[in-house]
Structure 1
Amino acid sequence: MAFRTGGIAIAMAILGVAAAEAEEAASPEALAVEARGIVGRFADKLKGELVGAMKEGGPVAAISVCNTAAPAIASEASTGGWIVRRTSLKLRNPATAPDAWEAETLARFDAAKAGGADPTKLERAEVVESGGQRNFRYMKAIPTAAEPCLACHGTNLAEPVKAKLAELYPDDKATGYSAGDIRGAFTLTKPLP
Structure 2
Amino acid sequence: MTLLEREECTSEEAETYSCGSPSIFSQACNNETYIEIWNDFMNRSGEEQEKVILYLEQEVQKPRERTGKGRDERTEHPAYTPKECYQRISRSLRGTLKKRQIPLGTLECLEEEMLSFFSVSPEAIYVSMMENGYQRLLLHAVCQYMDLISASSNFKGKRQVRVINRHRDFCPPELLLSSYLQMRC
Give TM-score scaled by structure 1 length.
Answer: 0.29
More strand by share: 1
RCO higher in 1 or 2 (8 Å CA, sep ≥ 6)? 1
Give TM-score scaled by structure 2 length.
Answer: 0.30
